[in-house]
Amino acid sequence: MNDIRIRSCVEGDAAALALLGQASFLETFAGILDGADILAHCARQHDAAVYRTWLAEPAMGIWLAEAMPGGAPVGYLVLSPANLPVEAPRAGDLEIKRIYLLHRFQGLRVGRRLMDAALQQARQAGASRVLLGVYAENHDALAFYRRSGFVQVGTRTFRVGATDYHDVILSLELS
């Protein structure tokens, strides 16, 4: 379980990212959010075409965590130009659009390693801060982000399927 490789994604990773996105979203929110909403969200937001588009975009950074041996995908992180409703947006803000990790691999510092890769790229790109949005009731994720130094800077409504949910927007200042 401790032999996890983190690597930058390549064009051929879209199907793995889509499968992992769907699996981890379902795993995280089954029994919490409406099942039909989860399935609709996954069909639309975790389609392989979404990931192919992101992989072709030079402004995006995507990292994949793979269990070794074998290279099975177990987590990923997507870094993009920021598109969150914050009070004072800054030129060059970046956003952690997704950080997903299968539950059995949580607590092994895999999320931390994915986050470190993204923050290193953000600093190299000259970003002064990184933003992210997270479901307000996802207490485990919120605790991870707070341990990583993120603070709340806003809120937003996030649609999953046909239902609106409340997210918090967090920010990490990069120095």
CATH number assigned to the domain comprising residue 126: 3.40.630.30
Instruction: Tell whether pTM > 0.75.
Output: yes
Q: For the chain, how many structural domains are there in total?
A: 1
Task: Return the pLDDT at 158.
Answer: 93
Count other C-beta atoms under 10 Å from residue 150's C-beta: 23
Cα gap 140→136, rounded to integer Å = 10
Count other C-beta atoms under 10 Å from residue 73's C-beta: 21
Task: Return the pLDDT at 31.
Answer: 95
What domain range includes position 19? Answer: 4-173
pLDDT band for position 2 (cuts 50, 70, 90): low
What mean pLDDT, rounded, does the chain reach?
96
Q: Exposed, middle or buried: residue 62 (CB in 10 Å: 0-12, 13-18, 19+)?
A: buried
Task: Return the pLDDT at 1.
Answer: 53
Cα gap 134→75, rounded to integer Å = 17
Tell me the pLDDT tens digit for each residue of 113-132.
Answer: 999 999 999 999 999 999 99
